[in-house]
Each structure stands twice: as structure tokens, then as C-alpha cells.
């Protein structure tokens, strides 16, 4: 597996595990909504401050999202998403060296973000919207293909699998073939099993326990477990009280082969991964 992933003008070195910090520029995300949003707009000063503090805490990638995928979240129009995300990418790309990732399923958001300096396209719908594969190929950026069963609004209504690991692996085999046909080079693809996206708590934990199986796809694995509701099935805590559990899950994912962890709490995760790194080299 190639440890250097080209991300536009920048390169992501996966010779050690990396941290993706979450920057939601939405008024309504489930655990940090609204913080970077003011008077119906992205608060670019707050965003830049937050981004800089994540970078100094150890973030290697910053993931900008303008559409909440929480079930029941208000639908965002394409213009609104474009406005939020592009404002944020533009504000950060010129001021920060860190790789900027864009969490979007919209081909126009992908294209415009690329032209403003984004380095990675993170699509929770796995580039399945019409035009998304072509947009990804044209930008030449790195891509993260996530698995989701169903659509955000209905994905938690009785998700069903034959075998959760086999079914998700089959999904990636199919998506990798589609990306290849569209012209997205294999050396810039990441995969993500999509914790919490159309999966019961039990299915999420089984997937994490068997995460090593995802490594057999031959591309680096990214995971997002931070403050997710699967934690609530074990610990009765609100999202803001899920820090220690989140750090534990991120560390376990890295132990099972994940190369990138997408988190809200960068500093705490960086300390845990520094310990993981030391033990893994000892
Ligand atoms: C994930 C994600 C979210 C994830 C990737 C949340 C945008 C929900 N989760 N992207 N996005 N993986 N790649 O709880 O698990 O942060 S949104």
C-alpha cells in the first residue's frame, strides 16, 4: 500500500496514523452544530481560529461539511451548501498548510472546492450521485469513499445485512471498479465503512471488531467514530460527554489498521495515537 497520497497541491503521508479534524459549517450538526455559524452564515473568524487550534493540536486534515446528515436534519439546497462550503474552503486554503477535505456528495461542490484549494473529497454517499464520479475524476483530488446503507433520513430504519463485513467489502469492490472506470487512480482512494450510517449499534461494534478485514481491499482505511450514537448503546451519555469513549474507539480502530481517524477532539486523540505509535514501534 502506498503511504503517500497525493491531495491536490499537498501530500498525505500515511506512514503513521493521521487525524482528520471535523469542522461543521452548519447550524444543526448533531454534536457541534452552530459553533461556526452566525446570522445564517459561516463565521469565518471563528472558523479560522478553530482550524488553527486543531492544526496546532495535531490535525493533519481538516474536514469541512456544510450539510448535516443527521436523520431529520433540514435539507440544504445546493446553493446553500455551495455558499457555506466554498466560503470555508476559501477562508482556510490560503491561510493554512493543512490538507482541506470537503464533506459533500454534490458534484458542483466538489468541483468548486477543488478550484479553491481543497485536497480531498469525502463523500458519505460514496460518489453515487449522478455526476459525482466524473467530478471526482476531473478534479484529480484524493477521495474518501464511504459506505452508507440507504439515505440519511431513513438509514436507521431496520438496517439489514447478510454479513455486515462481507456486504460492506462487496460494496467497496463495486465502488473501486466504478472509480477505476471513471478514471480515479487507485493511489488516491481511501475507504471508510461508515460507522452509524445505516447500521445498528451491534453492527457498528461488529464492524469495528473486524475492521482488519477492510485492510484486504488494499487501500487505506479512514474511520469516523467520534461521539457517535453507538457509544450510547453502552454508555448513557450525551454527545458532549462521549470524549473518553471516542478516544478509546479511535485507538482501537488504529490498532485494527485504520490509517486516518475523523474526530472532533483532536488534541486528546493525538495524545492517544502518540502512545499507540510508541507501543507499535517498541
Ligand atoms: C463520517 C463522515 C460524518 C464518517 C466519513 C458524524 C461526514 C456524522 N461521519 N465522513 N461524515 N466518515 N468519511 O457523526 O464516519 O460526524 S457526519
Cα gap 231→71, rounded to integer Å: 17
Q: What pLDDT does 229 receive? A: 96
Q: What pLDDT does 240 receive? A: 94
Mutate to test the pocket of ligand 1, among 106, 224, 240 (most ligand atoms within 8 A of CB): 224
Cα gap 178→13, rounded to integer Å: 25
The residue-averaged pLDDT of 227-249 equals: 97
- Cα dist from 21 to 8, 109, 167, whole Å: 18, 20, 28
Q: What pLDDT does 39 receive? A: 81
pLDDT-derived band at 55, boundaries 50, 70, 90: very high
Mutate to test the pocket of ligand 1, among 68, 124, 228, 231 (most ligand atoms within 8 A of CB): 124
pLDDT digits (tens, 9 = 90+) for 119-149: 999 999 999 999 999 999 999 999 999 999 9
Q: Which atom of ligand 1 is nearest to the CA of 224?
A: 15
For residue 2, is pLDDT > 70? no
Decide: 123 in ligand 1 pocket, CB within 6 A. Answer: no
- Cα dist from 10 to 13, 93, 142, 162, whole Å: 10, 11, 10, 40
Look up 199 and say whether it is catalytic: no
Q: Whose CA is nearest to atom 15 of ligand 1?
A: 224
What is the model's pTM? 0.97
Q: Please report, for the chain, the start and end positions of each structural domain, with discontinuous segments joined by +.
A: 4-280
Paired strand residues for 223: 261
Pairing mode, strands 10-13 and 99-103: unpaired
> Is the Cβ–Cβ distance between 213 and 169 less than 8 Å?
yes
Q: Which atom of ligand 1 is nearest to the CA of 196?
A: 15
> Is the Cβ–Cβ distance between 129 and 42 less than 8 Å?
no
- For all residues of the chain together, what is the average pLDDT? 95
The H or E element containing residue 7 is strand 4-7
Q: Whose CA is nearest to atom 11 of ligand 1?
A: 124
Determine what percent of the chain is predicted with pLDDT higher than 70: 98
Determine what percent of the chain is predicted with pLDDT higher than 90: 86
45 Cα–ligand 1 center, Å: 24
Decide: 144 in ligand 1 pocket, CB within 6 A. Answer: yes
pLDDT digits (tens, 9 = 90+) for 58-100: 999 999 999 988 877 888 899 999 999 999 999 999 999 999 9
- Cα dist from 173 to 130, 164, 216, whole Å: 19, 14, 11
For residue 31, is pLDDT > 70? no
224 Cα–ligand 1 center, Å: 5
Cα gap 228→232, rounded to integer Å: 8
Q: What pLDDT does 27 receive? A: 84
Q: Whose CA is nearest to atom 10 of ligand 1?
A: 124
- Class (C level, CATH) for 4-280: alpha beta
Q: What pLDDT does 265 receive? A: 98
Look up 262 and say whether it is catalytic: yes
SS3 64: strand
pLDDT-derived band at 153, boundaries 50, 70, 90: confident
282 Cα–ligand 1 center, Å: 32
Amino acid at each position: 500500500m502506498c503511504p503517500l497520497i497525493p491531495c491536490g497541491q499537498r501530500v498525505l503521508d500515511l506512514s503513521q496514523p493521521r487525524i482528520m479534524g471535523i469542522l461543521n459549517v452548519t447550524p444543526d450538526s448533531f454534536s457541534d452544530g452552530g459553533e461556526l455559524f452566525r446570522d445564517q452564515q459561516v463565521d469565518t473568524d471563528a472558523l479560522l481560529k478553530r482550524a488553527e487550534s486543531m492544526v496546532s493540536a495535531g490535525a493533519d486534515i481538516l474536514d469541512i461539511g456544510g450539510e448535516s446528515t443527521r436523520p431529520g436534519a433540514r435539507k440544504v439546497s445546493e446553493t446553500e451548501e455551495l455558499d457555506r462550503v466554498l466560503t470555508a474552503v476559501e477562508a482556510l486554503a490560503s491561510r493554512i498548510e493543512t490538507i482541506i477535505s470537503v464533506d459533500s456528495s454534490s458534484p458542483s461542490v466538489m468541483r468548486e472546492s477543488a478550484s479553491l484549494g481543497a485536497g480531498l473529497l469525502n463523500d458519505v454517499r460514496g460518489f453515487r450521485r449522478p455526476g459525482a464520479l466524473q467530478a471526482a475524476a476531473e478534479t484529480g483530488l484524493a477521495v474518501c469513499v464511504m459506505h452508507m446503507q440507504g439515505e440519511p433520513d431513513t438509514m436507521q430504519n431496520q438496517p439489514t445485512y447478510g454479513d455486515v463485513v462481507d456486504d460492506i467489502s462487496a460494496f467497496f469492490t463495486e465502488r473501486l471498479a466504478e472509480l477505476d472506470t471513471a478514471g480515479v487512480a487507485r493511489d488516491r482512494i481511501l475507504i471508510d465503512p461508515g460507522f452509524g450510517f445505516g447500521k445498528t449499534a451491534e453492527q457498528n461494534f461488529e464492524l469495528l471488531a473486524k475492521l482488519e478485514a477492510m485492510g484486504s481491499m488494499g487501500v487505506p482505511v479512514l474511520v469516523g467514530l467520534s461521539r457517535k450514537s453507538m457509544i450510547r448503546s453502552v454508555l448513557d451519555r450525551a454527545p458532549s460527554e462521549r470524549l473518553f469513549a471516542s478516544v478509546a474507539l479511535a485507538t482501537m480502530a488504529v490498532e485494527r489498521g485504520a490509517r486516518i481517524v475523523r474526530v472532533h477532539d483532536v488534541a486528546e486523540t493525538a495524545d492517544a495515537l502518540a502512545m499507540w505509535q510508541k507501543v507499535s514501534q517498541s
